Every structure is written in structure tokens, then in C-alpha cells.
Structure 1
Amino acid sequence: MSSKVNPPFRAEHLGSLKRPQYLLEKRNALDDKKCTQEELAVVEDKAISEIVQMQREAGIKTITDGEFRRHMFFDGVFDNMHGMTYIPDVPMHMFMDYVPDVSAFKKLSFKNAASYICTGKMSRARPFYVPQFTALKALTDPTEHARLKITMCAPEWYHLRHGPHAYPKDVYADDDAYFADVAIAYQQEIQELYAAGCRHIQIDDPLLAYFCAESMIKGMEEEGVDHEALLDTYIRAYNECLKGRPADMAVGLHLCRGNFKDGRHFSEGGYDRIAIKLFQQINVDAYFLEYDTPRAGTFEPLKFLPKNKTVVLGLISSKLSALEDKEVLKQKVHDAAKVIAGGSEPRTFEEALNQICISPQCGFASHSEGNQVNEEDVKRKLTLVVETARELWADA
């Protein structure tokens, strides 16, 4: 495969998996102060051991903990930063209407919502994901440790949704100053993850896909926001966050258009608008892209994929229980390979095919309650991913 280091395996999944009911009930008990964090951890360990075994049985080589120790997929970074304050009732005017998920929630008549707001100079207060990684190591075999993957929150998560309210102007003079401190925290986390043995991280970022949505572009222009400049700011932030990462640590970037607890999506639009910057300016090794419905557009933007990067096509729905047709999936992979082969850096069809992997389009439970699929559906979907990959690639 073409990525420079430890690329994704042919058959991938996006990180979050369906939580068993007993785990959800125990987490609710913690919220109700009816059990301790230590008691919850015992139940989490049991559930993670079971989901790891399910990944093994399905044939998935990259192993995650299913994000079973989180409530939301983006937990972990800003709730562990000095200078970020949890506010349970942020006024609605501090959420930007042009952000697609914000707009959707406001239409549901939300009067206020909890969020983290920057109130002072930021720094990493404690590890973000290192404890989750070391706990997963303890529940897996040493032969699997190099294949463990940790998913991470996107660095611009709260910045986009809060716009001019993202930070105090007497603390940070501008966006680059804000992201300079965010980048230091990510750099520290990545180095510590690496020291703990982590060799594969995936940053989950639906916000970049929002830049493909005409609704957000139009809303930004109406508010006087330069969306091209803001996207450039976020690309610089990414590259600073990943600066100095070890050469043998693979980094993937996942884009989707929303995957709330009932499978709700928030935006539509192909990758065409951002393709060149996405593929050629962000210093990651692989792109995990939603491609299970027409709302993600065509494969045409893949013509800008460089020869040294991998694309993981999210062709299988994590929101619906119906199983996709394997032959249709294989044809879609071939169609994508043809686009890549005839792209801005021409290559053979075989070379292009070897830059592709397949996966579900998103996780099965970005929110702890998950989508309208059961645990058996998840196993069937992951097995389909593996079987399709084995028929497409000899090294799957």
C-alpha cells in the first residue's frame, strides 16, 4: 500500500461500536450516583473484552475499544484542558447558526445547551487518551498491540461552533494564537501515546465535511465569515498539531456529515469544494470518507489523492441494519480506483486500487446510545467489510 507508515488495513472500522445494554445501565447508574467510577470501570473492561473478541471473530485487524469509555466520540481533549470551562447552559447566541448540527438542534427548539468554552490560556491538564490506550493494551494480546487504534477529537471542534465566542480576545489575539496552544497539547498527547506503544490514531472530524455543505457556506457569507480563510486556518492547525509526530505513527482523518444517536445526518455535499486542500495540504496518511449515500457526492474528488496516501471508502452504512450487496461494493471500489488512476497524478489501475481500503461510513455509536442497529448487525456489517476486502485484495 502507498502510505508511508502503518496504513489502515484493507478492512477497517471507524472506532465506535454498539454498547451493550448492561454497560449503558451501569453508566446511567454512575450518572445517578448509584455506583462508583471504579465499579463502572469493571463493567467497561468486561464490555471491551467482549467487543475486542467480536472484532477478532469478524476478521478486523485494527482493534479499538469501541469508545466504550466515552459518552460522545469527541470526549477526551477539551474536557482535559486548562483554560476550557464546562458551561451547562451556554446561551444560544454563542452557537453559530451556520454550523449544520447547531442549526439542526436549534430547530428542535433547544433554548440552551452545554458546551466547553475557552475562558483562559489553554494547556493540557492531563492525558487525553493515554489511559484508554493503556487499558486496551491490558485487555489484548501483545501480538495485537501494534494494531490498536485510538480515535481523537478534532482540534477545531469548539472553535467552529462558537465562532467569535470561541475564546476571550484578551487571552488570544487571533485564531492562530488560539490554535498554537491547542497544537502544543496535541503534540504532547501524541508523544505520550507513542511512548505507551500507540502506532495508529484517527481524528474524527465531521466539521471539515461541513465545508462541503452549501448551507454552511451561504450562512458564513451572510455573516461575513471568510470560509476559505477559516479552512486554511484549520489546515494550519492540523499540521501544527501533528508536527514532530514519530515517523512510524500512522494518522488517519475521518470525515462524515453527522451521525447522531438516531443516525441523523446534518449536512450534504460532495468533497469537491475542499478536495485539493484536504488531500494535498493536510499532513495525514489516510482519509476515512463517508460514501454510503449520494449526499457524499461522487468519487470524482479522489482524482486529487496523492500517490503516497490511502483512502478508506466508507461504503457500508453504520446506521441501517440492511446488509449491502458485496458485488455492488466491489464495483464501487473499482470505480473509485479508475478515478484515482486517471487523476492529477496518473498511475496504473493496480496502483490506485492498492491505495484503497473499505469500511463502514462512520462509527456504530458516535453517541453512547448508538444507532438503530443491534450487536448482531454490527458483527454482520464488519464481517461483510472483511469478506469484501478479501475478494478485492490478496493481502486482506
Structure 2
Amino acid sequence: MADAAGHPFEADASFDGGDLDCGNGLLLLIRQHIDPLEPGQLLEFRSTEISVEEDFPAWCRMTGNELVSTVRHGRERSFLVCKGPLSTRRATARGARPPLPVTHAVAEVRIPATLPPPAPTPAIAPLAVMGIGSWPRPRWMLQAIHDHIEGRLSEEEFTSTAEDATRLAVAAQARADVDVLTDGEQRRDNYASFVGARLDNCQLIPLTDLLPLVDDPVKFEQEMQSLDVPASDVRHPALFGPLGRRRPLAVHELEFVRSLSDRPVKIALPGPYLLTRTMWMECISDRAYRSREHLAEDIVRVLREELHFLLAAGAALVQLDEPVLSEVVFTGAKSARSFMCGALSEKGDAGRELAFATQLINGVVAGLPPERLGLHICRGNWTRDERAALAGDYRSLLPVLQQVEVGSLFLELCTPRAGEIDVLKELSVERRIGVGVVNQKLDRVE
């Protein structure tokens, strides 16, 4: 059945893209509208920007969606695209779940007038055993995450599934008799980018959506493949307005674990430098922020808000993840990627970047009890290929480790690539050092 615009099929959803081009917000709108659709359903959008006719087919090829037809009406062009191959349309037309509503208006930022103080919690034993944070997710949990991000699984259904997965992760830790529990980050699609689905004016888009925005898409894709990163499945946060935190990032995770056990609970959050590197994409982020430093101010604010509420809700320990710091010191400013995060961002001189990171971390934790705070650093975790992973000891990171105002340092030391523990003797004896001793990349039990 042809639609009114002259396309061979009627669209399941549509929107007007106006004069936006693919590098200035149109791809974000396309993603917001196509994600809730079932495979085989059709999206129609209109555009008056002439470059879209050339750029959009390339996006379709890279993302695996099929451009069905293009119709011209004077200056305006109408594009009909199928989610996935058009051949799947008939197979999925019957019984498809209706898509959830699409909302993409810029939300007003709300900043709390006051932040709650930390609640008292029992002290953690000096030689406590705990995981860094993540725990393997069942296949059904991974599918639920994927469906939820795309808007095809309601919040209620997702929460019920995630709580089942969290019960399994907590029970496994209890059987191992760990001293401090985590929720295994079961709800998170990724240790860092998950915040893009919870912060105001931010959304998660597949890495393949970024390919048209980089100078060398082929090189970018090759770098992702070298890290074993499935670019079509992994999502990256993209900003379309100023950051706000109307919903908690992880307080709900903490509260559920505490309902299952009386043991102390640790919550991991992506650190401010990691999030700044991840979220600053000059071709997108500069519509909301004038510079990377301007964006970092708001990242510090929302993380500080979350940190206060986590400690007030009884988190025994909150860990800031800053693994990308190792990339700063072990690679050059323009070298190939070792992390999926910061897909479009550039890093500068190592000394300036480390000083910037230290400033951001201390801005988040200022005035809070250091014994309840930790910092985690590793060398990348996407690929099992040791040849592609970063190597180097912690000597070049000692200035950061000495200056950050946290009481615990969680450091990877499970492979020869991480160097020797003797380097850490220069750190204050008042610091608790959590040594990572299990290599989770191995199939065999060590």
C-alpha cells in the first residue's frame, strides 16, 4: 500500500527534520524515532537540507537499516527507511508490540537547593574482599537491556527483569563470602554510558551512528574492531541539551541490594574525566556547551548530586571509575584508541589531561568522607587480545593517585601489563589499596 507522500509503503512513524543536517542533530532525531520501532517497521522523515540526500544513504548502509525510497516535493525531500532489511517487514508485521512514545524535548534543568549529608555505615574491614563492580549478565538480561534502550520494553518490565538478575548476582557473591557487595551493574548496558539513558537531555545512540561524523570512518571502524567492540550494538551517550539529574543514576541500584542483604554495599559510578571524554563530541555537544570544560562543570555537578544521595542512602563505598586515565599516559595524543569511550573526543598533552582529571575528581568528592570514596583505574577491558591492550606500570599515574581526595584506590594488577606493586610504595600509608588479582578475561579458573 503506497502512502500519501508517494512512497511504496505507509510509514509506521514520521517526523519533520527541517533544515538539520546529519552532523547537526538530524541523526539524533532519526535514532529517537527508529529505536522504538520493531524490525521491519518503517520511518518517514522530511528534510529541506540538500546534503541529507547524499549523507543519509551512507548512514543506512553503516547501521544496517534499508533506505526504501526518496520522494521530492520542491525543496523538501521525504525519506522512507526500514528498521533493518525490508525483507523482515512481512515477517514481523503481525503481532508486533506497539512502540512506546517518542519524547525528545529539551528538559528544564533542576538543581537541588540542598544536598543530604552522608548516613553512618559500618566500617569496612582492612582486608575486605569485593568485586570491582560488574558481574556477568544472563542472556535474557542483555536482551532486556537492548529492548529497554530501544523503547520496546516498559520501565516496569525492565525493572522486574533487572531485579531477578541482581538477585542472582548478589547470591553468587554471598556464596563466595565477599565482604562488600555490588549489584553487578546488571541494569547497565555499559559501565559508563548507562548514564546517557538516565540524565536529562542525553540519549544513547549506537556507535555506528557516529561513523558519518568522523574524518575517517573506515579507520574508526577498524579501531573499534581491533578492540572487539561491536559498533552496531554498543551505545554511546549524545547530548541534545544541558545536563540535568531528575532521576537517580544508581541510588535505586543501591536500595535494591540493601533490601537483599545486611552486608556493606559498594556502588560504582563513571568518573567525571571519563564522562567528559565520553560525552564531548564537538560536532554534537557544542550545541549545548561552548567547550569541553563548560560541559565538565555540569558533569561534576550531576555526579556530586548523585554521590551525596548515594552516601545518604547508606552506600558503604562509592567508587569512581577512571580507566581512561591509563590511555592518557600510555598512548600519544593522536594515537589509536584503546577504549571505546570518548569515541570522537580528542585528548591533549598528558600532563594537562592528568591535571584536568584530578581537578574534576576532587570537585566531585570535595568535603565528603574519603573513607567512603574510591577510585578505579585499569587498562581497558574490551578485548582479550593482550597485544591490543595497554601496558605500563602506575609510575606515571602517581601524581594523580597522590592528589585525589579519596581513601581507596582500586588498581588492576592481575597481568604483567600492569607492572609491579612496588611502584605503589610511594603512596601514603593512609590509602587503602585494592589490588585486582583475578583476570576476568580468562575462561579457566586461576
TM-score using structure 2 length: 0.60
Q: Within the alignment, does 1:225 sit opposite 2:348 as a pair?
A: yes
Aligned residue number for residue 162 of structure 2: 44
Q: Which of these residues, 294, 300, 325, is aligned with residue 208 of structure 1?
A: 325
Q: Within the alignment, does 1:240 sit opposite 2:240 as a pair?
A: no
Aligned residue number for residue 407 of structure 2: 285
Q: Tell me the distance in 2 between the aligned counterparts of 1:240 and 1:166.
A: 27
The answer to whether the 8 Å contact 1:15/1:67 transfers is: yes
Question: How far apart are residue 315 of structure 1 and its match?
Answer: 1.9
The answer to whether the 8 Å contact 2:354/2:400 transfers is: no
Between the aligned residues of both structures, percent identity stands at: 24
Normalized per residue, the structure richer in helix is 1
**Mind listing any 5+ residue stretches in structure 1 that lack a counterpart?**
325-396
Aligned residue number for residue 366 of structure 1: none
Q: Tell me the distance in 1 between the aligned counterparts of 2:244 and 2:147.
A: 32
Aligned residue number for residue 224 of structure 2: 105
Aligned residue number for residue 115 of structure 1: 236
Q: Tell me the distance in 2 between the aligned counterparts of 1:109 and 1:321.
A: 19
Secondary structure of 1:211's match?
helix
TM-score using structure 1 length: 0.67
Question: How far apart are residue 203 of structure 1 and its match?
Answer: 1.8
The answer to whether the 8 Å contact 1:76/1:129 transfers is: no
The answer to whether the 8 Å contact 1:290/1:313 transfers is: yes
Distance 1:134 1:217, change over 3 A: same
Secondary structure of 1:51's match?
helix
Task: Give per-residue Cα distances to partners, 1:287-336, cap 9 Å, x unaligned.
Answer: 11111212212224313211210111112111113233xxxxxxxxxxxx
Q: Tell me the distance in 2 between the aligned counterparts of 1:102 and 1:243.
A: 39
Distance 1:226 1:216, change over 3 A: closer
Q: Tell me the distance in 2 between the aligned counterparts of 1:7 and 1:103.
A: 45
Question: How far apart are residue 101 of structure 1 and its match?
Answer: 9.8
Q: Tell me the distance in 1 between the aligned counterparts of 2:152 and 2:229.
A: 32
Secondary structure of 1:115's match?
strand
The answer to whether the 8 Å contact 2:130/2:181 transfers is: no
Aligned residue number for residue 440 of structure 2: 318
Task: Give per-residue Cα distances to partners, 1:206-225, cap 9 Å, x unaligned.
Answer: 201212323557579xx893
Q: Tell me the distance in 1 between the aligned counterparts of 2:402 and 2:271.
A: 18
The answer to whether the 8 Å contact 1:94/1:162 transfers is: no
Secondary structure of 1:312's match?
strand
**Relative contact order higher in (CA < 8 Å, ≥ 6 apart):** 1
The answer to whether the 8 Å contact 1:95/1:163 transfers is: no
Secondary structure of 1:316's match?
coil
Question: How far apart are residue 230 of structure 1 and its match?
Answer: 1.6
The answer to whether the 8 Å contact 1:7/1:250 transfers is: no
Q: Within the alignment, does 1:132 sit opposite 2:253 as a pair?
A: yes
Distance 1:301 1:41, change over 3 A: same
Bigger Cα displacement from structure 2, 266-275 vs 276-285? 266-275
Q: Cα RMSD between the aligned structures?
A: 3.6
Code of the residue aligned with 2:164 in structure 1: it is K
Q: Tell me the distance in 1 between the aligned counterparts of 2:192 and 2:272.
A: 10
Secondary structure of 1:176's match?
helix
Distance 1:166 1:191, change over 3 A: farther
Distance 1:252 1:205, change over 3 A: same
Code of the residue aligned with 1:232 in structure 2: it is A
Task: Give per-residue Cα distances to partners, 1:313-368, cap 9 Å, x unaligned.
Answer: 112111113233xxxxxxxxxxxxxxxxxxxxxxxxxxxxxxxxxxxxxxxxxxxx
Q: Which of these residues, 192, 197, 201, is aligned with residue 74 of structure 1?
A: 192
**Mind listing any 5+ residue stretches in structure 2 that lack a counterpart?**
1-122, 338-345
The answer to whether the 8 Å contact 2:279/2:285 transfers is: no
Distance 1:166 1:59, change over 3 A: farther
Secondary structure of 2:236's match?
strand
Question: How far apart are residue 77 of structure 1 and its match?
Answer: 2.8
Question: How far apart are residue 9 of structure 1 and its match?
Answer: 4.3
Secondary structure of 2:329's match?
coil
Aligned residue number for residue 359 of structure 1: none
The answer to whether the 8 Å contact 2:273/2:357 transfers is: yes
Code of the residue aligned with 1:53 in structure 2: it is A
Secondary structure of 1:288's match?
strand
Task: Give per-residue Cα distances to partners, 1:90-141, cap 9 Å, x unaligned.
Answer: 43375699xx99873065798887522334332323211111111222222x
Distance 1:290 1:279, change over 3 A: same
The answer to whether the 8 Å contact 2:133/2:268 transfers is: yes
Distance 1:164 1:53, change over 3 A: closer
Secondary structure of 2:324's match?
helix
Bigger Cα displacement from structure 2, 298-307 vs 52-61? 298-307
Aligned residue number for residue 57 of structure 2: none
